[in-house]
């Protein structure tokens, strides 16, 4: 299937590894020119992206700097993938374990980075009748299943996408959300990631936690989602073939969310 993306331009955030890197690979494979950002420009990212930008997107000015660079390098933008999110750790615990600074940090990365990057990119996306894709989480629908600041920030991100889709849809810009369940990335696989912290809090090894995750989360497929599977969904939604899909939230979680 030709996704008709060849020659178009894209910005992908949080792209050094995991879902973001897989998305850059999928879009570049479709012939898109991609500007991709993370704090660390990994060798894999450098190889795949047209331009890799090192930027902290949790800062107030980072997103605007990224979009300024992207427009200077690519010209107008056809696609923005707001993928950056998660966190740098320390997000394991109940409601009372999070102070104001942690709430602000988690909302900064999981909500405000997307708000600020979208605000900077929207004038160009409007000129190109482009697409915004936000990477949320199935935790937005099952907010007890993860750290409260994270799942509620993702719920706000999902709502942000819906509201923006209504506002800019008549001007030709589509906005969609992709909401993964557990994906096999550093979040679960790294020895100092969220999975390792959660395992320690539960008195398990990280390997035990990850092996039990599909059952614990009710994943009907019995395995974690692969980053390339999320990237393939993002590439389809970016395509003109998905021209009638806007304001939608696409869950990709192996069947973990049980409601219709």
Ligand X SMILES: NC(=O)c1ccc[n+]([C@@H]2O[C@H](COP(=O)([O-])OP(=O)(O)OC[C@H]3O[C@@H](n4cnc5c(N)ncnc54)[C@H](OP(=O)(O)O)[C@@H]3O)[C@@H](O)[C@H]2O)c1
With binding defined as CB under 6 A, does residue 20 bind ligand X?
yes
With binding defined as CB under 6 A, does residue 195 bind ligand X?
no
With binding defined as CB under 6 A, does residue 109 bind ligand X?
yes
What is the nearest approach in angstroms of ligand X to the Cβ of residue 187?
4
Among the listed residues 10, 14, 210, 219, the single contact to ligand X using CB under 6 A = 14
Size of residue set near ligand X by CB under 6 A = 28
Sequence-ordered list of residues with C-beta below 8 angstroms from that of 230, at least 6 positions apart, any chain: 19, 22, 23, 135, 178, 180, 183, 252
Q: Is 236 tagged catalytic?
A: no
Between 171 and 208, CB nearer to ligand X: 208
Per the CB < 8 A criterion, the answer to whether 39 and 14 are in contact is no
What is the nearest approach in angstroms of ligand X to the Cβ of residue 189?
8
Between 61 and 169, CB nearer to ligand X: 61
What is the nearest approach in angstroms of ligand X to the Cβ of residue 102?
14
* 3-state secondary structure at position 87: coil
Among the listed residues 182, 214, 246, 257, the single contact to ligand X using CB under 6 A = 182
Lookup result for tokens 């059952």: 215
Segment lying near ligand X (by CB under 6 A), choices 1-9, 83-91, 158-166, 212-220: 83-91
| Window 119-158: residues binding ligand X (CB under 6 A) | 135, 137
Between 143 and 172, CB nearer to ligand X: 143
DSSP class of residue 224 equals P
Give the Cα separation of 159 and 26 in Å (integer): 26
Rounded to the nearest angstrom, the gap between the alpha carbon of residue 44 and the centroid of all alpha carbons in its chain is: 18
With binding defined as CB under 6 A, does residue 17 bind ligand X?
yes
Per the CB < 8 A criterion, the answer to whether 194 and 89 are in contact is yes
Sequence-ordered list of residues with C-beta below 8 angstroms from that of 98, at least 6 positions apart, any chain: 91, 106, 147, 148, 149
Sequence-ordered list of residues with C-beta below 8 angstroms from that of 33, at least 6 positions apart, any chain: 7, 8, 9, 10, 50, 74
Between 39 and 128, CB nearer to ligand X: 39
Per the CB < 8 A criterion, the answer to whether 11 and 27 are in contact is no
Between 202 and 243, CB nearer to ligand X: 202
Segment lying near ligand X (by CB under 6 A), choices 53-61, 68-76, 125-133, 196-204: 53-61
With binding defined as CB under 6 A, does residue 40 bind ligand X?
yes
Give the Cα separation of 82 and 36 in Å (integer): 11
User: Across the strands, what pairs with 11?
Assistant: 35, 80
What is the nearest approach in angstroms of ligand X to the Cβ of residue 223?
12
Task: List contacts with ligand X (CB under 6 A).
Answer: 14-20, 37-40, 55-58, 83-86, 109, 135, 137, 180, 182-183, 185-187
Q: Could you list the active site residues?
A: 150
């Amino acid at each position: 299937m030709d996704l008709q993306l060849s020659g178009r331009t894209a910005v992908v955030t949080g792209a050094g590894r995991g879902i973001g890197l897989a998305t850059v690979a999928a879009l570049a494979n479709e012939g898109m020119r991609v500007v991709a950002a993370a704090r660390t420009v990994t060798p894999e990212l450098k190889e795949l992206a047209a331009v890799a930008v090192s930027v902290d997107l949790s800062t107030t000015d980072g997103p605007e700097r990224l979009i300024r660079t992207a427009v200077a390098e690519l010209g107008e933008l056809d696609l923005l993938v707001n993928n950056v999110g998660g966190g740098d750790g320390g997000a394991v615990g109940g409601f009372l374990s999070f102070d104001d600074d942690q709430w602000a940090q988690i909302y900064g990365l999981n909500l405000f980075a997307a708000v600020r990057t979208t605000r900077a990119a929207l004038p160009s996306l409007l000129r190109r009748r482009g697409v915004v894709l936000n990477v949320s989480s199935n935790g937005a629908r099952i907010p007890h299943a993860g750290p409260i600041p994270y799942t509620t920030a993702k719920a706000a991100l999902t709502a942000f996408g819906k509201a923006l889709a209504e506002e800019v849809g008549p001007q030709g810009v589509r906005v969609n959300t992709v909401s993964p369940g557990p994906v096999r990335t550093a979040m679960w696989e790294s020895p100092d990631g969220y999975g390792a912290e959660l395992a320690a809090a539960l008195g398990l090894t990280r390997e035990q936690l990850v092996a039990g995750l599909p059952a614990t989360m009710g994943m009907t497929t019995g395995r974690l989602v692969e980053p390339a599977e999320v990237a393939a969904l993002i590439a389809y939604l970016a395509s003109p073939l998905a021209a009638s899909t806007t304001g939608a939230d696409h869950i990709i979680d192996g069947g973990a969310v049980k409601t219709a």
